[in-house]
């Protein structure tokens, strides 16, 4: 059996707390993350962002968001440029090793895709959904889907695989556990890569044209089966694609806020191996809800070896360093941060990255292939956020579409295995929630108003902007009054 090629992927999730990052500091942390357990650069870098900018700027769109995105692009390339020997060996540009293939967002939730060779990324699709108050995008999810073509040194195609990346920001607060699960249901049913209503209507029309008096029941069943398969293919759980979900999923370790008597993890412990941190991780809501089949269905997670990533209180920068910053010492990346826990929130592993493991039916075909976890860890704290970024580096087997699709025998086997289990069948076989046929059009109807809302918010937050707006309004009214006489 020929060896299966692999794809080296680095995924990072970060709640930026609506601030721009310090590029040199973030680049140093990224370089250290790239260097851990590996001597080469990843082929793909995916950055999942939450609260990446203030809501008003996020609603306005790329005009306001590009400066935020550009800082991450700079940080990724500064970090990668330190791998000078590898870049020279591969003939990659030393000043810009990665290309930002795309940057997408829904409100304050975004996703950036970087590739060492942008020509390897084909058939790129993007989608998004919001589930904040009134379906506004203060919370939401963005999805990317793509084919990755890996080639040999002589340029011939070696392998192709399909990948889906989801960046999500679920409901906050300890007591909102059920709402977080509901957010996940909305992602499964509504984060689709084509208009589901059009697909359902198209399949129904085809069934009507093909049916005759003697086969109406058969055609109806056939149409239903075909429609379900088509809807499954536009969901995040497309059977022929790998799936990764990253974000501030906001699952905590309690459903109630801490009290004055609550015991918090000691900040001096840096791994979960310690007996001190393990009891806190044992209370993690995400693990419990996923194991009970109520969220993140069919997804796996590497072993957590890092402390909670939220909520941090960062100590002010020492006066001397603050003064150096003011006189232009922005290239200093050695910014060590002192921090403590915020006492009004339980610390939690809010920032997570999960993935779909290779299905059992694919292993029967290509051997015992699985996702090879290189590293799953958290970056050091930064001054601009109350979260720590979390990253996953993984070698993904480049399995073809047909290899990942479940055979007809898989459904019967899954149903038999899960008959006495509370867990649903593999989502590549049957979706845990039906596709919402109205989700695409409902999202589009709300989205068209977001720039107007964003500009209105921005104007209302600025005294100067309000003064300009009132002046223009008065001039307009005066002009109208003058012309009316």
Tens-digit pLDDT profile for residues 125-176: 999 999 987 788 889 999 999 999 998 888 889 999 999 999 999 999 999 9
Do 405 and 416 form a contact (C-beta atoms < 8 A)?
no
3 state SS of 102 = strand
Would you say 77 and 92 are in contact if contact means Cβ atoms under 8 Å apart? no
The pLDDT value recorded for residue 223 is 47
pLDDT at 221: 40
Strand 242-248 to 312-314 pairing: unpaired
- The residue among 285 and 216 whose pLDDT is bigger is 285
**pLDDT attached to residue 274:** 66
* Alpha carbon distance 420, 53 (integer Å): 46
**H-assigned helices in 36-176:** 55-60, 62-81, 84-90
pLDDT value of position 327: 45
Residue 116 in this model has a pLDDT that exceeds 60: yes
Please say whether the dihedral angle defined by the alpha carbons of residues 200, 206, 208 and 213, taken in this order, is positive or negative: negative
Q: What is the pLDDT of residue 408?
A: 77
Average pLDDT, the chain: 86
pTM across the whole model: 0.89
> 388-418, pLDDT tens digit by residue?
999 999 999 999 988 999 887 777 776 666 6
| Distant-in-sequence contacts of 281-286, Cβ < 8 A, 24+ apart | 281/253, 281/349, 283/253, 283/254, 284/251, 284/253, 284/348, 284/349, 285/177, 285/180, 285/251, 285/252, 285/253, 285/255, 285/348, 286/249, 286/251, 286/349, 286/352
**Helices 439-447, 177-190: inter-axial angle, 10-degree rounding:** 100
Greatest mean pLDDT range, 111-120, 217-226, 275-284, 331-340: 111-120
Four-residue CA torsion sign, 460, 462, 463, 466: negative
3-state helix, strand, coil in the chain (%, to 5): 35, 20, 40
Q: Within the chain, how many helices (H) and strands (E) appear?
A: 16, 13
User: How far, CA to CA in Å, does 472 sit from each of 341, 372, 465?
Assistant: 48, 60, 11
Contacts (Cβ under 8 Å, ≥6 apart) of 375: 33, 36, 37, 38, 391, 392, 393
Kindly tell me if the per-residue pLDDT of 14 is higher than 90. yes
| Nearest residue to 13 via CA among 351, 267, 455 | 351
8 A C-beta contact, residue 147 and residue 161: yes
> Model confidence over 93-110: pLDDT tens digits?
777 899 999 999 999 999
Give the pLDDT confidence score for residue 424 in this predicted structure.
Answer: 72
Give residue limits of the domains in the chain: 6-194+234-448
Six-digit token pair at 332? 């200093």
Residues 6+ apart with CB under 8 A from 244: 9, 11, 46, 163, 164, 165, 166, 353, 354, 355, 356, 392
Second CATH level (architecture) for the domain 6-194+234-448? 4-Layer Sandwich (3.60)
DSSP 417-456: HTTT-SSPPPTTTS-SS---TTHHHHHHHHHTTHHHHHHH
On the question of a cis peptide bond just before residue 288, with omega within 30 degrees of 0, the verdict is: no
Q: Are 227 and 203 in contact (CB under 8 A)?
A: yes
């Amino acid at each position: 059996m020929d060896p299966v090629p692999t794809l080296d992927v680095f995924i990072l999730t970060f709640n930026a707390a609506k601030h721009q990052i310090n590029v040199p500091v973030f680049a140093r942390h990224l370089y250290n993350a790239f260097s851990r357990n590996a001597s080469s650069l990843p082929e793909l870098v995916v950055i999942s962002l939450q609260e990446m900018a203030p809501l008003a700027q996020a609603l306005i769109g790329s005009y306001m968001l590009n400066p935020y995105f550009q800082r991450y692009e700079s940080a990724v390339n500064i970090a990668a440029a330190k791998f000078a020997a590898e870049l020279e060996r591969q003939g990659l540009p030393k000043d810009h090793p990665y290309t930002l293939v795309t940057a997408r967002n829904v409100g304050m939730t975004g996703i950036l895709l970087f590739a060492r060779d942008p020509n390897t990324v084909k058939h790129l699709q993007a989608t998004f959904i919001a589930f904040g108050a009134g379906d506004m995008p203060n919370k939401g999810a963005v999805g990317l889907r793509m084919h990755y073509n890996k080639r040999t040194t002589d340029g011939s195609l070696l392998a192709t695989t399909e990948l889906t990346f989801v960046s999500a920001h679920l409901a906050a607060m300890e007591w909102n556990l059920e709402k977080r699960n509901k957010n996940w249901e909305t992602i499964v049913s509504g984060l689709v890569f084509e208009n589901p209503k059009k697909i359902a209507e198209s399949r129904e029309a085809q069934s009507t044209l093909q049916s005759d008096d003697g086969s109406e029941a058969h055609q109806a069943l056939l149409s239903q089966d075909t429609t379900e398969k088509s809807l499954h293919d536009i969901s995040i759980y497309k059977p022929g694609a790998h799936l990764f979900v990253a974000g501030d999923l906001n699952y905590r370790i309690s459903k109630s806020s801490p009290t004055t008597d609550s015991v918090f993890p000691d900040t001096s412990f840096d791994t979960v191996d310690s007996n001190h941190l393990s009891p806190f991780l044992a209370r993690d809501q995400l693990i419990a809800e996923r194991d009970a089949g109520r969220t993140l269905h069919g997804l796996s997670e590497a072993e957590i070896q890092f402390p909670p990533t939220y909520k941090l209180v960062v100590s002010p920068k020492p006066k001397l360093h603050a003064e150096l910053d003011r006189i232009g010492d922005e290239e200093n990346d050695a910014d060590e941060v002192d921090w403590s826990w915020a006492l009004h929130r339980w610390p939690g592993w809010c920032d997570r990255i999960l993935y779909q493991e290779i299905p059992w039916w694919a292993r029967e075909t290509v051997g015992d292939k699985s996702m090879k976890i290189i590293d799953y860890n958290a970056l050091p704290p930064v001054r601009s956020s109350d979260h720590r970024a979390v990253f996953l580096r993984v070698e993904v087997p480049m399995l073809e579409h047909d290899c990942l699709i479940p055979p007809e025998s898989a459904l019967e086997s899954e149903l038999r295995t899960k008959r006495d289990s509370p867990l649903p069948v593999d989502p590549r076989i049957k979706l845990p929630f039906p596709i919402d046929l109205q989700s695409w059009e409902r999202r589009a109807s709300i989205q068209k108003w977001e720039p107007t809302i964003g500009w209105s918010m921005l104007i209302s937050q600025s005294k100067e902007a309000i003064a300009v707006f009132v002046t223009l309004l008065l001039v307009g009214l005066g002009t109208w009054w003058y012309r009316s006489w």
